[in-house]
């Protein structure tokens, strides 16, 4: 049924685009002059809010939304709504402050998600594939962990009395969400079954164990069930599939341990119970794990069992906003990343449209007066689109002219990845029907089993109190300082990223809360 829905969506998209007409008013210079004047007037009215935010919403379109992905998402989302494309703003486009963020790791010019998560969540750049530790820690060397741990902004917010949460479409033990709570020299140590004996003997903990032991996280929503249960435990959704069983060699039931810690805790694994639990005022802590590993792509989602990113975000906000001291929420559209790695633009871009829907919902449910919201990526991908395509033509379609080899090519291409192919010594031809297939892998210049990240800067969108601090071209480590953990916030201590000492003079008391009720 889900596949039929995707096909109908694409057929409808193709029909609407075939009827697309360029608006006549765009031929008149006055149209563009009025638009520019309106933008200038809006800019003049911007007044930086220097009040410390009561709540912080960190939306990382993470892994994995470079500027080309943002633009392509804008076009696809508009075209799915019957519009031409590039002129229609995304939810994040309405954020008034913008900057560029440098994404390199200490030891890599082109980064991975673990090192970048450490940078933007802990304020310290790190080495490739390490999380929550400084660059003094070495990949895969457990004995370099201790003493090199760095503290995340989420931990800092919790110590300031705020409620905190993590929402992701990946497994909750994945590199980016793990950056909020974990310290590990190997991002792939999801459970103890993934760790070498030497690391276990040296006292290093797997990421799933750290999820429930390192700090008190009020809301945890995403995938990753199998890493929380004893080896061989049947999965509730796939009880006859042994590959989805629990993996823990230590036979610990981490979900049960987590539930035992809090009187108002509830664990859920499907959409219906999630919505019910989030509406129950007696629920103080909520863990929802909706797949054994990563959650399904939006295009493949079971609409009955699996919540969307928007629904998870709304549920998290409903629980977290009960704390009068405010909250910090990390939201990740993480499967954008997997779609790009697979070289399948349709999957990446439909994930990105869902991510923008979640941003829109969060903006509706929070107040710009007291909630600082950042939207950014941890890194970009080798993804591009070009070919002088006509305005209104599908972002997933073909360029209007043939290449030098006489064959058609798609507007979207990858620099490397699984889309590389040769047919009798040259690249294969492609037609519109193929390029519009949701499973189509766009052609790539270099053959790789998985497309790689890219190293250019990524955009940071900001709104709310102190959002004006987001400006220019900055190190990725700068964004952690944009999140004051309390009303009297002070600069972040260097290197160890530990919570700073109390300041001598407190900042002004914040304005009355403008948080909207979440119901």
To which H or E segment does residue 10 belong?
Answer: helix 2-18
* 378 in a known ligand binding site: yes
- Looking up tokens 């164990």 gives 209
CA triple 330-332-338, angle to 5 deg: 155
**Among positive and negative, which fits the CA dihedral 208, 209, 214, 216?**
positive
Asked whether the beta carbons of 271 and 309 are under 8 A apart, the reply is no
Length of the chain: 519
Q: Is 94 annotated as a binding residue?
A: no
Matching residue, tokens 């869902």? 354
3-class secondary structure, 331: strand
First to last CA, the chain: 31
| Residues forming beta bridges with residue 265, ordered by sequence position | 285
Q: Alpha-carbon distance 199 to 141, whole Å?
A: 8
267 - beta bridge partners? Answer: 287
Catalytic residue among 49, 59, 113, 191: 113
Dihedral sign computed on CA atoms, order 355, 328, 215, 184:
positive
176 is in an annotated binding site: yes
Distance CA(497)–CA(153), nearest Å, equals 9
Question: Which residue from 463, 367, 467 is spatially nearest to 95, judged by alpha carbons?
Answer: 463
Q: CA 23 to CA 480: how far, in whole Å? A: 43
Alpha carbon distance 8, 284 (integer Å): 41
Separation of alpha carbons 196 and 199, rounded Å: 5
Gap between the Cα atoms of 151 and 134, Å rounded = 10
Q: Report whether 366 contacts 317 (CB < 8 A).
A: yes
User: Phi, psi at residue 107, to the nearest 5°?
Assistant: -110, 5
Is 332 marked as binding a ligand? yes
In this structure, the number of other CB atoms found within 10 A of the CB of residue 116 comes to 30
113 noted as active-site residue: yes
- The answer on whether 174 is annotated among ligand-binding residues is yes
Rounded Cα distance, 21 and 232, in Å? 58
**Hey, what are 138's tokens?**
């070495």
8 SS3 class: helix
Q: Rounded to an integer, what distance in angstroms lies between the CA atom of residue 248 and that of residue 155?
A: 26
Binding residues for Zn(2+), as ranges, are 341, 378-379, 453
Binding residues for Mg(2+), as ranges, are 174, 176, 332
Binding residues, as ranges, are 174, 176, 332, 341, 378-379, 453
Active site residues: 113
């Amino acid at each position: 049924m889900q596949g039929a829905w995707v096909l109908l969506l694409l057929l409808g998209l193709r029909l609407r685009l075939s009827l697309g007409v360029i608006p006549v008013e765009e031929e008149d210079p006055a149209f563009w002059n009025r638009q520019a004047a309106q933008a200038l007037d809006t800019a003049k009215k911007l007044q930086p809010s220097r009040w410390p935010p009561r709540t912080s919403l960190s939306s990382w379109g993470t892994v994995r939304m470079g500027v080309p992905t943002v633009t392509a998402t804008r076009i696809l989302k508009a075209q799915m709504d019957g519009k031409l494309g590039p002129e229609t703003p995304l939810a994040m486009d309405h954020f008034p402050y913008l900057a560029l963020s440098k994404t390199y790791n200490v030891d890599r010019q082109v980064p991975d998600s673990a090192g970048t998560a450490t940078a933007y969540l802990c304020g310290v750049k790190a080495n490739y594939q390490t999380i929550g530790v400084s660059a003094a820690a070495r990949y895969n060397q457990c004995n370099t962990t201790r003493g090199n741990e760095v503290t995340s902004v989420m931990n800092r917010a919790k110590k300031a009395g705020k409620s905190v949460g993590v929402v992701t479409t990946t497994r909750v033990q994945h590199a980016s969400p793990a950056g909020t709570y974990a310290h590990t020299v190997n991002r792939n140590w999801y459970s103890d079954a993934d760790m070498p004996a030497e690391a276990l003997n040296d006292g290093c903990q797997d990421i799933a164990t750290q999820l429930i032991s390192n700090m008190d996280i009020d809301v945890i929503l995403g995938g990753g069930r199998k890493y929380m249960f004893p080896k061989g435990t049947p999965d509730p959704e796939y009880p006859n599939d042994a590959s989805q069983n629990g993996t823990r060699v230590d036979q610990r039931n981490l979900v049960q341990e987590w539930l035992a810690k809090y009187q108002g805790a509830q664990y859920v694994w499907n959409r219906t119970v999630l919505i019910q639990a989030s509406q129950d005022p007696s629920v103080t802590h909520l863990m929802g794990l909706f797949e054994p590993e990563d959650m399904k792509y939006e295009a493949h989602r079971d609409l009955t069992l699996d919540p969307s990113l928007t629904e998870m975000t709304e549920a998290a906000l409903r629980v977290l906003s009960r704390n009068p001291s405010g909250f910090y929420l990390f939201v990740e559209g993480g499967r954008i990343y997997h779609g790009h790695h697979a070289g399948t633009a349709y999957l990446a871009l439909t994930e990105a449209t869902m991510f923008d829907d979640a941003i829109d919902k969060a903006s509706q449910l929070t107040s710009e007066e007291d909630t600082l919201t950042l939207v950014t990526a941890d890194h970009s991908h080798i993804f591009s689109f070009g070919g002088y395509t006509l305005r209104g033509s599908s972002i997933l379609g073909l360029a209007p002219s043939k290449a030098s080899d006489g064959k058609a090519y798609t507007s979207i291409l990858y620099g490397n990845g699984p889309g590389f192919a040769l047919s009798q010594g040259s690249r294969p031809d492609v037609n519109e029907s193929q390029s519009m297939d949701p499973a189509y892998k766009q052609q790539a210049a270099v053959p790789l089993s998985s497309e790689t990240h890219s190293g250019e800067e990524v955009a940071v969108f900001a709104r709310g109190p102190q959002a004006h601090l987001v400006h220019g071209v900055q190190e990725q480590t700068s964004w952690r300082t944009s999140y004051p953990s309390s009303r009297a916030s002070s600069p972040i201590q260097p290197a160890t990223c530990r919570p700073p000492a109390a300041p001598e003079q407190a900042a002004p008391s914040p304005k009355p809360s403008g948080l909207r009720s979440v119901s």
